[in-house]
Structure formats: structure tokens, C-alpha cells
Structure 1
Amino acid sequence: MTERVRRTGRDESEDERADRMWGELLQEVRVAQMGVQILFGFLLTVVFTPKYATLGDTDQTIYIVTVVLGATATGAMIGPVSLHRLVSGRRIKPQAVTWASRLTLVGLILLLATTASSLLLILRVATHDGYVPLLVTGVVAWYLLCWFVLPLWTRRRYTE
């Protein structure tokens, strides 16, 4: 048994592994990309509603930060598609997979920030209660657990 087979658990070449990982990454990106694009689309419409003019300075600032976060999350989540298109056929798929994975992780972090700030704004406008930061903190903690802590724990527990 070669070192590569033991390390990956599959009998595949570096190119075959890159192809498989690229396909898996694209499936993952499709899920997150759809969510970030829908959220960003809704955020773009808020400024054109009559309610926006009645928001206080703090809420308008939260909105602007949220829109910028949504724009950056969208860019990061679409980035792997552009990366693939621009480097396709250049025989650097393993490196492209690495960079696309990094962009996707950054996109997930930005999506978490966008979602948290959206929730903060919505709950501030909807309730005006002091417990809003606690609710948002709880939701962020849940996202961190589901998106990062559990996967990292699983990776550490079940890999050598």
C-alpha cells in the first residue's frame, strides 16, 4: 500500500482526487450560494421601502454594514466559480481546489456575519427590547456550533 492510499483512504491519483474534491466543493457551494444570494437580494430592497426612512442612525448603520457583508459574502461564494473558469485547463486543479475551499470558508464566515447582522436589525426594529443581543448571540453560537465546532470536532475525532 502506498503512502498516498493510506493518507487519503482511496486509490486515486492527485488529479483524480482534485476532480472528486472539486465536484464535492461545487455541490457545497451551490447550497450556500443560493442562501447568500437570496438574503442579499432581500437586503437590497430594504432601502427602497418607506420604513427605511424612519430607522434611527444606529439601525441604518447596522443595515449598511449588513449590505456590505452580504455583498462580500456573495463575492466569496461566487469566487470559486470564477476561479474555476479562469484556471480551467491550466493543469492546476489541486491548487484551484485549495483556493476555492478557502474562498468558500471565507464566504461562510461572511454569511454568518451577514445573517447575524440581519437578525440584529430585524429584531431591533420588530421588538425594541433589550434581550435582542442575547437572542442574536444565541443564534450565532448555534451557527458556530453547526458550521464550525461540530465539523472540526468530527475531523479531529475521526482522523489520524
Structure 2
Amino acid sequence: MDDMLDVGCLMLATMVPELQKQHEDMGAYEMIQNLNEIYEGQARQERYETSKVLFQCKMNEGSPVGAHVIKMMGYIQTLEKLRFPLKNELATDVVLQSLPDSFKPFVLNFNMNEINKTLPQLLGMLRTVEGNMKKNSSKSILMVREANRKKKAKSKGTTNEKDSG
């Protein structure tokens, strides 16, 4: 019984004065029950707002995938703290659905191969894919520029041959 009294005293000592006054005549269990009632509504509202933001997340084309996924992981962790954890499969689906069209081939491959990864592992994969997409897009831009230069050089050569003939 002394332990329960000690717990109650410790709880009271950590409360702001207004809460101390409300709980000074209660035991530890009654304090916990009362505090749950007081703050449960706030937790419900925060859970609603966090899940709303999470499920509406959409990454803009060209934005860094790392920052986007880390932000989403933060929302998922907040929901866990609010006693509303998402299973790994659902969390993965939410992240994959938030990606822009440029990631469609990756998402298709991920789902077809039934890949099961944690969110940090998925983040690593997405960063690799993003890096490869950037390398490939810079090569195709370079190829387009080279092709344009060759066409211009040929067209200049052709006009010069016609002028001289």
C-alpha cells in the first residue's frame, strides 16, 4: 500500500498546480483514470488530423523522395504514439501510393515481386531508384543535345554544297 501512496505522490509532484488541486485526494489508479478521460478527446483529434495529413500526402514530381518518405514516416510514428499503429504493409502501401508517376515502374515491380521491406529499407530502395532516374534523365538530355548538333551540322553542310553547285 505504501508503494501506491509513493506512486500517487510522485504523480502529483510532476503535475502542474491546476491538476494537482484536482487530483490531491485521489489514489494513483483514480488519477490515471481521470487523466485518461481529460486527454482522450485531444488524442482522438490529433489522431484524426495526423491520419488525414498522412493519407493525403502526395509527392510532387521532381521533389526529393527522401524528405517526402521521412515526413510520412514521422506521421506514421505519431500515430503509433497515439496508440493507432499502422501495420507495415499498410504503411508501405500509403507511401507507395503517395509517389508521383515517375515511380510507377518501381511500384509495379515492388508489388509484382511481393517485396516485404520495412519503411527504412523502402526509403533506401526509393533513394536508389531516384538516383538511377536522375542519371538516366541526364544521359537522355545529353543524347538529345548531341543528336540536335549532328542534324545542324548536316544541314549546314548540305546548304553549302547546294550554294557551291
- TM-score, reference length from structure 2: 0.32
Q: Higher relative contact order by CA 8 Å / sep ≥ 6: 1 or 2?
A: 1
Larger radius of gyration: 2
Higher helix proportion (structure 1 or 2): 1
